[in-house]
Amino acid sequence: MIVANKNKIISMAKNLSEDKTTSGRSLWADARTRFIRNKAAITSLFILALIVLFSFVGPYFAVWTYEQIDWNTMGSAATLGMPSIETGHYFGTDDLGRDIYSRVIQGTQISLMVGVVGATIAVVVGTLYGATSGYIGGRTDQIMMRIVDILMAIPFMFVLILLLVVFGRSIVMLFVGIGLLSWLDMSRIVRGQTLNLKNKEFIEAAKATGVSDYKIIMRHIVPNLLGIVAVYATLLVPGIIIAESFISFLGLGVQEPKTSWGALISEGAGTINYDTEWQLLFPLAFFIVTLFCIYFIGDGLRDALDPKER
Amino acid sequence: MLNYIIKRIGIAIPTLLILIAVTFYLMHAAPGGPFTSEKPLPPQVLANIEAKYGLDQPIWRQMTTYLWGILTEFDFGPSYKYHSRTVNEIIGQGFPITLKYGFWSFVVAIGVGISLGAIAAIRKNTWVDYFAVGISIGAQVLPNFVMAPLLIIVFTLWLGWLPGGGWHGGDWEYLVMPVIALSTSYMASIARITRSSMLEVLNANYIRTARAKGLPTKTIFFRHVFKPSLLPVISYLGPAFVGLITGSVLIDIFFSTGGMGYFFVNAAFNRDYAVMMGITILVGALTILFSLIVDLLYAWIDPKIRY
């Protein structure tokens, strides 16, 4: 305590002697302090980082790859395929003798990637669309928002399944479908924020000095939206992961031998009667823990960044 | 108000038409028709079949015929896979089932969700609040395809209380698990929305005034708090409805309830485009209709909105 105080006094003295004024706290610095103070969010961030790290480092500790078949345990997963260190199947095997450990890692990679890519599409398209619509206003705004209304009324899960059936299952199609679905809410939120920002003095100043609309949107509107966009992007990720898992669960998502959480949970749920709980429990645990973490991080971010909550 | 209704219907109709057009063109853009199988049919046979289903016509013609059929006779055409059945028959078989458990799920989600949220808001920062918030977060990360197997494990395999699937005309034993699995995550969202909007209302000045006047808590709650804090819930009902319909796909797979979702997935794997198209359009129309109702309800309840 004494040391800390001493340091503080010294630094204060230094500030005084060098005639430094204390710098104002920016929105982001403020938000950071608030976020760090939120224990649930910080713990979640830590766990999530571990999971991401695991999905990259995990394969180096795996004895089996995700598509390799252990002929010894094939067909008798319930008796021979239990989780054990000796056989190298840390999480057990499925009925085909494939290693659940490696498959969970593979599934984690795919599911997280889908979540991140989906959220990125939502952020880029939604922000630009919403900001443009809100900033230009008038008739353009009306038409652009009507289009969003129309798209929102379409039952997307059904159309997504339809797309996947018609054009064949592929991860690209999945991204296209999820991308189509995810940006709508974001664009509405961003538009609302933009309408608020539009009448602020600094925008007026920019206009008065003859900055082009495009530049105003990119340089003045979008950066000011980042806070709220970050919050909603985080809150979007679980939804997207759930959507992908749902599709994979139906057997329309990623193709074998690649897998994702949804596909793994589906397999595990299908074989629940054969005493191979580990097939369900390991992917399920990863799925639930990750979603929990993302929710808490999103909540923490919202508390830290959303100006309305202050 | 009347203007607003007309305007909303004016959006609803083109939306539906666009949906029909998009699904229709998607179907026809598909590589490989519904009748391509591993063993190629003789060209003459194929031509005959296509003529029977009108697939030899130009595409705009097919589409107008299809549209006309829907508009005039509510006819979605024949199934491509089950030759003796029409899409209408298939929907007629599955839809009432989906409607029944969907309705109950909706009721449960709204009823339980609002009560939970309200209790949490009134007893803010007590264990009741933490408990309710905990439940609602937990329920949100447990999507229905996780809930469903867990329910089956617990209630059918371990406890043996409920049958693991089937429909049997919708007896309550067969309804319980589908309804729980389907409603949980929406219940959770509704609870969260109710809680936060109710907290906002409880902090409002007019509530303080009501307290200062010495009104009993019960009166304040039911007369001043309840209605305004439900507005955000109402605007969530549209998305919740869509989610429930989508979720039915899964419920039908898990609990073998035989609703519309079952036929949709079956059709997806059989490439039975007519059935898929029919169900997608029906669901789309319902969604549009429902969001129209929700919007009108909202406009009617919220005194701040004037059209």
pLDDT in tens, A205-232: 888 898 888 888 888 888 888 777 887 8
Asked if B265 lies within 8 A of A250 by C-beta distance, the reply is: yes
Q: State the CB neighbour count (10 A cutoff) for residue A281.
A: 17
Residues of B in contact with A238 (CB under 8 A): 140-141
- Rounded to 10°, the helix B260-270/A156-166 angle is 20
Is residue B182 within 8 A of residue B144, CB to CB? The reply is: yes
| pLDDT computed for residue B111 by the predictor | 92
CA distances from B96 to A68, A132, B100, B170, B189 (A): 46, 44, 6, 10, 26
Question: Distance from first CA to last CA of chain B, Å, rounded?
Answer: 6
Assign residue B78 a region: left if phi > 0, alpha if psi is -120 to 50, beta otherwise? beta
ipTM of the prediction: 0.72
Asked if A153 lies within 8 A of B291 by C-beta distance, the reply is: yes
pLDDT digit string, tens, across residues B184-238: 888 888 888 888 888 888 888 888 888 898 888 888 888 888 888 888 888 788 7
Nearest to A58 by CA among A70, A66, A46: A66
User: Nearest C-alpha of chain B: how many angstroms from A44?
Assistant: 14
pLDDT band with cut points at 50, 70 and 90 for residue B19: confident
**How is residue B282 written in tokens?**
């029906």
Alpha helix locations (H) across chain B? Answer: 2-29, 43-52, 59-73, 87-122, 127-141, 144-151, 172-202, 205-213, 217-219, 226-255, 260-270, 273-301
Asked if A154 lies within 8 A of B15 by C-beta distance, the reply is: yes
Which of helix, strand or coil describes residue A208? helix
User: Rounded to an integer, what distance in angstroms lies between the CA atom of residue B106 and that of residue B229?
Assistant: 19
Burial of B291 (0-12, 13-18, 19+ CB in 10 A): buried
Q: Given CB atoms, is B17 within the 8 Å cutoff of chain A? A: no
Across residues A282-294, what is the average pLDDT?
86
User: In the beta sheet, which residues pair with residue A93?
Assistant: A99
Q: Given CB atoms, is A245 within the 8 Å cutoff of chain B? A: yes
- Rounded to 10°, the helix B260-270/B226-255 angle is 50
> A1 pLDDT exceeds 50?
no
